[in-house]
Amino acid sequence: GGAPAGGAAGTTSFDAVVRWDVRATSSPFRSDALGDVPAAAAMRLRGAGEVRPDGAFRTIGDENTVRVDLTVGERSIETGPVAADVRSARATLDGRYGLVVPANGGALALEVDGRVDWDVHGNAVRVHVPDGASVRAAEVRTTGGGRLTARVGGAGDALVLRDGTYALDVRGPMGISGLRTDRLTIDDLGLDGAVHAEGSVAMTGNRVTFDGSASTDVEVVGAGIVEAFGMERGTSARARVERGSRIAADLDAARLDLSMGEASAPGPVGAPVVVDAAGRGRVEAGLDLSDVRIVARDGGVEGGRVRIDGALGVDGSLAGGLTEGSGRATVRLDDDARVSATGLARDEASGTIAAAARTHEIVRGDTLSRLAARYGTTVAALKAENGLASDTIHVGRTLRIPGGTTRVVTRPADRSGHLTTTLAAGSTATLDVASARTLADGSFELTGRVSSRVVVSTTDVAAGLLEARILGAARASLDGDLRLRVANGEARVSTGRLEVPVRLDLAPGSRVAFGLPGRRFETSLDRPGSYAEFVAVCRVVDGRLELDELARVDLLLVSSADLGVAEHGVTVGVHGDKTVRYAGRVVLRDRGVDLFGELSVGVRGGDDRPIVRIDW
Angle at 67 between CA 62 and CA 71, to 5 degrees: 170
pLDDT at 229: 82
Q: How far apart are CA 176 and CA 125, in angstroms?
A: 12
Check whether 499 has a pLDDT greater than 60: yes
**Taking a C-beta distance cutoff of 8 angstroms, is the pair 212, 195 a contact?**
no
Q: What are phi and psi of 368, to 5 degrees?
A: -60, -40
pLDDT of residue 350 exceeding 50, the answer is no
Per-residue confidence (pLDDT) for residue 432, from 0 to 100:
96
pLDDT in tens, 275-301: 788 999 999 999 999 999 988 777 788
Spatial CA neighbour of 43 closest among 87, 99, 92, 100: 92
* More confident position, 10 or 63: 63
Please check whether residue 113 is in contact with residue 159, taking contact to mean a CB–CB distance below 8 angstroms. no
510: Cα separation from own chain's centroid: 39
Q: Which contacts qualify for 549-553: CB closer than 8 Å, 24 or more apart?
A: 549/585, 549/586, 549/587, 549/588, 550/585, 550/586, 551/499, 551/585, 552/585, 553/582, 553/583, 553/584, 553/585, 553/586, 553/597
pLDDT at 106 (0 to 100): 73
Least confident range from 203-207, 347-351, 413-417: namely 347-351
pTM, entire model: 0.71
Q: What is the pLDDT of residue 295?
A: 86
- Region of residue 231 (left: phi > 0; alpha: psi -120 to 50; beta: else): alpha
